[in-house]
Structure 1
Amino acid sequence: KERKAFGTEICNHQAIAFKLADMYTDIEAARHLVMKAAWDK
């Protein structure tokens, strides 16, 4: 918790990385859902 990179603690960067990973997963799931709906139609 004491180590800093670019003026902020490393843990803050990790939290952002986890949020981005979750957002990417949601976007990919939605994309696949749309593709399946289009394919079934």
Structure 2
Amino acid sequence: MEFARSIEGIVLVDGVTLAGLMMDYEVGVSARRISVPAVDSDYFGE
């Protein structure tokens, strides 16, 4: 880490930050949509 601080333009990131950036920019990941059902209150006469 000390060496990285001495070099201009190097940014160190932890695993959580790296995973977030990968998802944000869709690098090395694949996206898919999922369906989450909800109870229809009109059907059951709330």
Q: TM exceeds 0.5?
A: no
TM-score when normalising by structure 1: 0.31
User: Whose radius of gyration is greater, 1 or 2?
Assistant: 2
